[in-house]
Amino acid sequence: MKLLKTWALPLVLGVMPLAATAAPVTPAERDAIVASATQGAARELKLDATRLRLAPEQLKRQGDWAFLTAKLQNPAGQRFDYAGTSRHEAALAGGVSDLCAALLRREGAAWKLVDIAVGPTDVAWEGWPSAHRAPAELFR
């Protein structure tokens, strides 16, 4: 009887809590998200965006939100060199990573950058769900 009350009845009534799932990302969305994040990373580094490439490691989308983690690379696909940026000295000392994390939100047909962490050495996006009211599931 307990099994019936705990699982069967809620299942039949359709009231079982469901885990939030990330929506699939189309190739066009992926390209738009990566392009927007690349522009944002280039602005952070005060570089022309043609000097930077983001190689996505993880991309999650839920509704109008997207979370991207990517490796910073040069246009040839090699590890990004911070030379010529304000982070060069920190990079030489091991104080920055080659990671980029970006939170984006879709506005109409465009993906707009909400927040970005370029070269973080910690979990820079930990506070983004509450700071931007983004779905926490994106970051898990």
User: How many Å separate Cα 64 from the centre of its chain?
Assistant: 13
> Which residues span the domain enclosing 70?
23-139
The verdict on residue 45 lying in a domain is yes
pTM of the complete model: 0.83
106-118 per-position pLDDT tens digit: 999 999 999 999 9
Give the confidence band of 89 by pLDDT, cuts at 50, 70, 90: very high
The verdict on residue 4 lying in a domain is no
Average pLDDT over residues 76-100: 96
The verdict on residue 3 lying in a domain is no
The verdict on residue 10 lying in a domain is no
The verdict on residue 14 lying in a domain is no
Q: Phi/psi of residue 7, each to 5°?
A: -120, -50
The verdict on residue 8 lying in a domain is no
Separation of alpha carbons 94 and 57, rounded Å: 21
Domain tally, the chain? 1
What local confidence, expressed as pLDDT, does residue 103 receive?
99
Q: Phi/psi of residue 132, each to 5°?
A: -115, 5
Structural tokens at position 60: 């999650």
User: Coil, strand, or helix at residue 18?
Assistant: coil
The verdict on residue 104 lying in a domain is yes
Looking up residue 29, the CATH number of its domain turns out to be 3.10.450.630
Give the confidence band of 23 by pLDDT, cuts at 50, 70, 90: confident
The verdict on residue 111 lying in a domain is yes
4 vs 71, residue with greater confidence:
71
